[in-house]
Chains A and B, each alone.
Chain A
Amino acid sequence: MKRYVLGKVVFAIPLLIIITFLAFGLNHLSPVEPAEAVLHAQGVPEITKELIAETREKLGMNDPFLFRYGSWLLDCLRLDFGSSYVTGLPVWSQLGPAFLNTLKLTLVSMAAIVGLSIALGVGSALREGRLLDKGIRGAAFLLTSMPPYWLATLMIWYFSVKLDLLPTSGMDAWQSYILPVAIITISYAGIYFRVIRSSMLGNLNEDYVLYARANGLLELLVTKHILRNSLQVAVSVFGMAIPVILGSTVVVENLFAWPGLGSLSVRAILSRDYPVIQAYVLILAVTFVFFNTLSDIVNAAMNPKARMDR
């Protein structure tokens, strides 16, 4: 197991280097001259060639590509992503708090998604074809087919405006979490519970289940074995869901005025604020690698075969 974990972590290092290279390089493929974008962003009325040349020199853009990449990478390791072209403030002072806010929202949602998916998946698999199964699948189908922004608007209207139970927006108290978390949970758990359900159904027909029952084991213990084997598929899916949610909270954050990454990144992209975009891409990619590695490790801890096959 130790060797497996070490192997996974070592494998992540070259992956991270490639990612940083792409994050840095992609921005330089953009047809827009970065110096011009800076001047635009700062609202300079008349952009002359001399001004562009001067800005290029000031931002160090005349240095060789690899040299600039190297010094950017070293700065990144110290969480120094440069300064925003628009505000002139250090990128991390904006991105850091926003990232934390979105991470909080994501982790709370993830806990709800995992809990709900397992409960619904197990419930509907054990009652396959019966009323409970049909009810869960029907409700999940209905809720996931509603666009999140519409569902969110309805919920804000009902719970916040009509019943006045929950805040409409912001991030002030734990109550602020309920609606955004509910919206994210509904759209993901409605899909993920099916992964668990079908995996459970596949396992239910396995010989080891028949043998455990033939040995007189309690149905609860048998279900525990089935769940343990079914969750192995789900762990990878859940692991990858965290960065996906992290990168796709734009709609929910905008609706609930959540001061997170989603709103920040959209603003940065619209104003071509390259340092912020670069840092955003980099942070998301790193979390992808991190949670992917983590889910591999958790999976190996649960599945002896994966641990040995590597």
Chain B
Amino acid sequence: MKDLVVSKLRIWDSRSGAALVEDSSFTVKAGKCLAIVGESGSGKSLTCRAIMRLNKAGLRQSGDIWLGDIKLTALTEKEIRRIRGTKLCLILQNGMRAFDPSSTIGSSVRETLAWHYGWSRSEMIGKMAKAMTAVKLDDYLRILNSYPHQLSGGMLQRMMIALAIVLEPEVVIADEPTTALDTVSQFEVLQQFALLRERLGCTMVFVSHDLGCVKKLADEVLIMKNGVIVEKGAASDIFHAPRHDYTRYLVTAKTSVNQHFRRLMGGDSFVFH
């Protein structure tokens, strides 16, 4: 396992020249989970995509990104393509839109696996079946033969996790994977992420604006605002002793919303079961 090191990452719009992410440096230790927290437009997703070099054509980036001793920013397009999927795996926010609507889930998945590993059809189905059972997608044959619109967002999210299990990447980058889900699916998907880490021992970058999710998964937290990292540190420190005003604001906002919710639901006597 290798560390993921981002050093002096800068992302800007090539037309207007406006900087979207400014001088961003951080390290994710091998096997650890880093959460990037911030409101929309703070540059979280751009940072993730910059690691995979997948930002849109109009955006430019500078700075170095290392995965162990591989300098990702210096690879050719062909070399980085080999790394995408096998060493770096992206999991997206909206499962409903992450798969080609005109292909079955099975054919999308097979395409990826065939390209990287050249496995036979039965080999692929065997491996996918195992991974899908692990993420509680038991009826795997039906799901593989379904089109995206026939499945729920939570199922497709778990499908992406199952694919990651089969691909066995070193780093999993999850871009707001729970935002588009209802509370029950959120809980299930979070559990699957925890299991994914246990199973693969992979390094993880987890983008979210939900501090509840972050608390459950992250070892370290990075707070971003307007394209700048305002605070980074161990998760426990951030939650218990935030140093920056903005972090304090995020943490207290979360607490006060929780309190308000409790009051609405019948005072402090109300307990979750």
Contacts and interface: CB of A to CB of B under 8 A. Distances in A.
Interface of A: 206-208, 210-218, 221, 225, 228-229, 232, 302-305
B102 A215 contact: no
Contact of B81 (A218, A228, A303): A218
Given A208-B99, A229-B102, A214 B84 contact: yes
Given A215-B112, A216-B115, A221-B115, A302 B102 contact: yes
Contacts of A228: 100, 102-103
B147 A304 contact: yes
Nearest to A204: B56
Nearest to A130: B57
Contacts of A216: 81-86, 112, 115-116
Contact of A214 (B90, B94, B97, B111): B90
B244 interface: no
Contacts of B82: 216
Classify the interface of chain A: helix, strand, loop or mixed.
helix
B147 A305 contact: yes
A217 B110 CA distance: 11
A304 B102 CA distance: 6
Contacts of A229: 100-102
A213 B53 CA distance: 10
B103 A218 contact: no
Interface in B51-103: 52, 54, 81-86, 88-90, 92-94, 97-103
B115 A206 contact: no
List the 3 closest pairs (A to B, CB-CB), nearest first.
A216-B85, A214-B90, A216-B84
Contacts of B102: 225, 228-229, 232, 302-304
A214 B86 CA distance: 10
A216 B49 CA distance: 13
A305 B101 contact: yes
A213 B97 contact: no
Contact of B98 (A207, A217, A221, A232): A207
Given A207-B97, A303-B101, 10 more contacts: A208-B99, A212-B108, A214-B89, A214-B90, A216-B81, A217-B115, A218-B115, A221-B115, A225-B103, A229-B101
B149 interface: yes
A225 B115 contact: no
A207 B97 CA distance: 6
Interface in B97-128: 97-103, 108, 111-112, 115-116
Contacts of B103: 225, 228
B112 A217 contact: yes
B85 A215 contact: yes
Contacts of A304: 101-102, 147, 149
B149 A213 contact: no
Given A213-B54, A229-B101, A303-B102, A221 B111 contact: yes
A218 B149 CA distance: 25
Contacts of B81: 216, 218
29 contacts: A207-B92, A207-B93, A207-B94, A207-B98, A208-B100, A208-B101, A210-B54, A210-B90, A210-B92, A211-B160, A212-B100, A212-B108, A214-B84, A215-B89, A215-B163, A216-B81, A216-B85, A217-B111, A217-B115, A225-B100, A225-B102, A225-B103, A229-B101, A303-B101, A303-B102, A304-B101, A304-B149, A305-B101, A305-B147
Given A216-B86, A225-B103, A232-B102, A208 B97 contact: yes
Contacts of A215: 84-85, 89-90, 112, 163, 167
Contacts of A206: 97
Interface string B152-172: 000000001001000100000
A230 B147 CA distance: 17
B117 to A, nearest CB: 11
Contacts of B93: 207
Contacts of A303: 101-102
Given A218-B115, A304-B147, A211 B92 contact: yes
Nearest to A207: B97
A214 B100 contact: no
B236 to A, nearest CB: 31
A232 B103 CA distance: 13
A237 to B, nearest CB: 18
Identify the interface centre among A214, A215, A232, A305: most chain B CB within 10 Å of its CB: A215
Contacts of A232: 102
A211 B86 contact: no
Contacts of B89: 214-215
Nearest to B104: A304
A78 to B, nearest CB: 43
A304 B149 CA distance: 9
A164 to B, nearest CB: 48
Nearest to B83: A216
A221 B160 CA distance: 19
A216 B82 CA distance: 6
Contacts of A211: 90, 92, 98-99, 160
A131 to B, nearest CB: 15
